[in-house]
Amino acid sequence: MKQAIATGEEIKRLIPQREPMLMIDAFYEATDTEADTGVTVSEDSLLVDEGMLSEAGLVEHIAQSASAFAGYKALMQDSTASDGTKSRHCEERSNPDFQVLRHCEERSNPEKRHKGINTATPPLGLIGEVRKCRISFLPRIGDALLTHIRIISEVLGVTLIEAVTKVGDNISAECQMKIYIKPAS
């Protein structure tokens, strides 16, 4: 099992979506091109209908996973840009807790060091295109979704990804998606 880099409220540092549209609750360790995310289907979700996450909810979860990946990469990039050297902690991808993110953010924004966790504005991601999307079944309330994202290409703020979302060993959804990423202002 991969280690979570961010869970719960910490996710809000990676994406600008908020309740009741927030559709991820965990971001796991990532490489430059691949990442894993998760969400547990909550009965409070706007995108749950008759006890099941809707197709739209699945697609939104994948889109937010890709957006969070962009947010994570933006934090990592910031942390290397400030002094030209990569933070040791940022490279320690196996670091088990949120210290990784906090440390990278502090390096990139030293003046914001003690202002709490919501100082950085995450990039805004919007869906440009969904294609080859197959939905096999709708997850139920309480199901834990795990999504694997792979970046196919990144050109001028347009990121093409492919994603597979599973509940346990069963594939619930897979698709390709084009996401427009607007960098943090």
Q: Which is nearer to other proteins, 48 or 100 (CB)?
A: 48
> What's the min distance (Å) between Cβ of 22 and other proteins?
6
Choose, by CB under 8 A, the member of 5, 14, 47, 120 that binds other proteins: 47
Judged by CB under 8 A, the residue of 42, 46, 80, 154 near other proteins is: 46
19 is an interface residue for other proteins by CB under 8 A: yes
- Distances 128 to 51, 68, 72, 83 between C-alpha atoms, Å: 29, 16, 20, 34
- Residue 80 or residue 176: which is nearer to other proteins going by CB? 176
In the numeric block, which tokens belong to residue 155?
């050109």
Q: How far is the CB of 181 from other proteins (least distance, A)?
A: 14
Give the distance, in angstroms, between the CA of residue 137 and the centroid of all CA atoms in the same chain: 22
* Using rule CB under 8 A, residue 38 touches other proteins: no
Q: Which lies closer to other proteins via its Cβ, residue 87 or residue 172?
A: 172
Q: Is 25 in the site for other proteins (CB under 8 A)?
A: no
Residue 63 or 101: the one with the smaller Cβ distance to other proteins is: 63
Tokens found for residue 128: 């440009």
- Look up tokens 């991808």; give the residue: 93
Location of structure tokens 């919501």: 118
| Tokens encoding 65 | 């996973």
For other proteins, which stretch binds (CB under 8 A), given 28-36, 42-50, 68-76, 78-86? 42-50
Residues 6 or more apart whose Cβ sits within 8 Å of residue 93: 5, 29, 30, 31, 100
Contacting other proteins within 119-178 (CB under 8 A): 124, 126-136, 138, 175
CA distance 167 to 41: 11
- Which residue in the set 5, 41, 48, 149 belongs to the binding site for other proteins (CB under 8 A)? 48
Name every residue whose Cβ is closer than 8 Å to that of residue 96 and which is 6 or more positions away in sequence: 3
- The pair of structure tokens assigned to 126 is 């919007």
Binding residues for other proteins, rule: CB under 8 A, are: 16-22, 46-49, 54-57, 59-60, 63, 124, 126-136, 138, 175
